[in-house]
Amino acid sequence: MSLMDQLFPFHATTEGITVRVQPHYAADHSQPAAGAWMWRYHVRIENHGDQPVRLLDRHWIIRDAVGRREEVEGPGVVGEQPLIPPGGAHDYVSACPLGTPSGTMEGSYGMERADGTRFRARIPLFALVSPDSRRAAN
């Protein structure tokens, strides 16, 4: 297992673009007694292709522990539409609140190559797991 796979346990590659994710439970922003759990997630988007690519938009599918599904779509990521050169990467950190102690996220990024071709890069399914959900499972 590579160091990147250890740091980012969830990853998927689409047309030369690797999306890696490392989720982290944000205890400092969670209030389990009030039914509110928060996660931060670090995303790294690597361009292993031979052309620059621009991240145009995002589409997230978020599920909580009781099966509620929410879809989130919008331009760019954290207010940016980064251009990623061949061999380059773009990192960002964002957050996700849930009303249950666990859930999942997955989705895709709309990407555009320098030659104008567009495709969707898959964001791998990753688990959002709080200490509360681990205790409930035992």
CATH number at residue 99: 2.60.40.1470
Residue 136 inside a domain? The answer is no
pLDDT at 138: 45
Q: How many domains does the chain have?
A: 1
Tens of pLDDT, residues 62-102: 999 999 999 999 999 999 999 999 999 999 999 999 999 99
Distance between CA 85 and CA 65 in Å, rounded? 38
Residue 134 inside a domain? The answer is no
The parent domain of residue 7 ranges over: 3-127
Residue 119 inside a domain? The answer is yes
Residue 79 inside a domain? The answer is yes
pTM of the model: 0.92
- 11, 30 contact by CB (below 8 A): no
Residue 15 inside a domain? The answer is yes
Residue 56 inside a domain? The answer is yes
The residues with which 8 forms a beta bridge, in sequence order, are: none
Under-50 pLDDT residues of the chain:
138
